[in-house]
Amino acid sequence: MDGLGGHGGPDATDAESSAFGFHGTWREYLPIALTNLLLIVVTLGIYRFWAKARERRYLWSRTRFIDERLEWTGTGMELFVGGVLVIVLFVVPYFVMTQVAQAMMMRGQTALGAALFVIPLLAIFYLMGVARFRAIRYRLGRTNWRGIRGGSDDAGFRYGWSYMWKTAAGYAAFGLGVPWAMVSLWNQRWRAMSFGPMRFTCSADFSALMKRYLLFYFSPFLAILGLVGFVFAAAFGLQADGQFDPENPPIGVMAAIGVAFVLFYLVLGFVWLAYYAKFFRVVVGEMELGDLSFEFDAKTWDWIRLGLGDVALLVLTLGLGFVFLGYRHWRFFIAHMQAFGEIDVDGLIQSTTRRARHGEGLLDAFDMGAI
C-alpha cells in the first residue's frame, strides 16, 4: 500500500506545501506564445488548434499535483477535427436553415419561417450544454497524472436537456433561480466525471450564494439611485463645502453622465465577480474524488485583479496579448486550488472510460470556458 497525502489549506502559506503547484514562468512561455501568435496570423487562424495544444502541453507540464506533474496528451489535430465537425454538422446546417427561414418569411409563410428560425436557436441552447459537458470530459480524458487519466462514460446528451430546462427555469423565476440552476448543473456535470476508477462527487448547495446574488440582482437599482445623485452633484457643481455654483460646474453634465455609465458597468461587473468568486468557492469546496476533497480559495479581489490584469494586458499589447490569457488563467486557477486527503496510488487504476477522437470543437465555437 503506497499512500500519498494531499496537503495544503488556508494556513499553508508556502506554495510548495499545497497539493497543487504551478512553476511555469512567463519567460519560458514567451517563445511558445510568440511562435503560436506568428503561426496563427500566417494561417489565418487555423493554427489556433495546434497552438492550444502546445499551450496546454506546456501549462500541464509545469503543473504539479502532490509529487508528479500533469501531462496533456491531447493533440492539435484532435481539436482541429472537432472544429471541422462543428462547421459541417452545425454551422453549415444553421446557415442553410436561417436562409431557408428567411426565404419562407419573404414568401409570406411566416409561421413556417419563424419555426425554422427558432429551431436552430433551440439547438444552439441545447448544444451549449452538451458542449460544456463534453469539454470537461475531453480535458479529463487528455490529462494524465502518474499515467492515469480521467473521463466520463456519459456522452453528455442528456445533460444538454438538463441544461436547457434548468437554465430556463432559473430565468423564469424573474432570474432569481439562476444560482440554483448554476449550482445544480455544476453538481450534475461533475458527478458524471471520473478520474481513474473514482467518480467525482459534488453536492453543493446554492443557498449560501443567495445573499451575494441578491446584491447583484438589486445593485442596478441601488446604483442608479446613487448615480443620479452623483450626476446631479457633479454636474451642478455641488461642492464639498456645500457651496453651490451653477455658473461654474466642476465638470460638464455630459462628462458626468459618461463617468457615471463607466462606473455603473464597472461596479456591476465587480458585484457579479463577488458573486462568481463565492460560487466557485462553494462548488469546488463541495467536490470530492475518492478520499480527496478540494478547495478553491480565490476571493473577489483576486478575480478582479485577474480581470483588470487581462484588460491591461490586452490594451497594452493592442490585443496581441491574447496569447498569454490562457497562461494567466491557468496560473490563477492552479494557484488557488487546494486538495486534502489521501490517494492510494495502487488503487488508482486506469480509467475505463471511452475517449472521443475529436476535441472540444463545440465549446470552441461557442467560445465558453470549460470549468
In the complex, the residues that contact another protein under the rule CB under 8 A are 2, 28, 35, 38-39, 42-45, 47, 50, 54, 57-58, 61, 68-69, 71, 73, 76, 87, 91, 95, 98-99, 102-103, 105-108, 144-149, 196, 343, 345-350, 365
Q: How far is the CB of 291 from another protein (least distance, A)?
A: 14
Q: Phi and psi dihedrals of 18, rounded to 5?
A: -80, 155
Q: Residue 51: is it exposed, middle or buried by C-beta count within 10 angstroms (0-12/13-18/19+)?
A: buried
Nearer to another protein (CB atom), residue 149 or residue 278: 149
DSSP string, 103-165: HHHHTT-HHHHHHHHHHHHHHHHHHHHHHHHHHHHHHHHTEEETTB-EE-S--SHHHHHHHHH
Q: How far is the CB of 57 from another protein (least distance, A)?
A: 6
Residue type, 1: M
Nearer to another protein (CB atom), residue 4 or residue 155: 4
Q: Which residues pair with 202 in a beta bridge?
A: 287
Residue 243 zone, left/alpha/beta (φ > 0; ψ -120 to 50; rest): beta
Find the angle CA(111)-CA(117)-CA(122) to the nearest 5 degrees: 115
Q: How far is the CB of 236 from another protein (least distance, A)?
A: 33
Q: How far is the CB of 134 from another protein (least distance, A)?
A: 18
Q: How far is the CB of 133 from another protein (least distance, A)?
A: 21
Nearest C-alpha neighbor of 68 from the set 154, 4, 122: 4
- In the chain the first and final C-alpha atoms are separated, in Å, by 33
Q: Residue 19: is it exposed, middle or buried by C-beta count within 10 angstroms (0-12/13-18/19+)?
A: buried
Nearer to another protein (CB atom), residue 29 or residue 333: 29
Residue 25 zone, left/alpha/beta (φ > 0; ψ -120 to 50; rest): beta
Nearer to another protein (CB atom), residue 76 or residue 326: 76
Nearer to another protein (CB atom), residue 145 or residue 280: 145
Nearer to another protein (CB atom), residue 179 or residue 290: 290
Q: How far is the CB of 219 from another protein (least distance, A)?
A: 32
DSSP string, 11-40: T--SGGGSSEEE---HHHHHHHHHHHHHHH
Nearer to another protein (CB atom), residue 88 or residue 173: 88
Q: Which residues are CB-neighbours of 142 under 8 A, at least 6 positions away?
A: 72, 73, 74, 149, 355
Q: How far is the CB of 42 from another protein (least distance, A)?
A: 4
Q: Coil, strand or helix: which one is 273?
A: helix
Q: How far is the CB of 44 from another protein (least distance, A)?
A: 5
Nearer to another protein (CB atom), residue 68 or residue 245: 68
Q: For residue 184, what is its C-alpha cell?
A: 445544480
Nearer to another protein (CB atom), residue 71 or residue 310: 71
Q: How far is the CB of 311 from another protein (least distance, A)?
A: 23
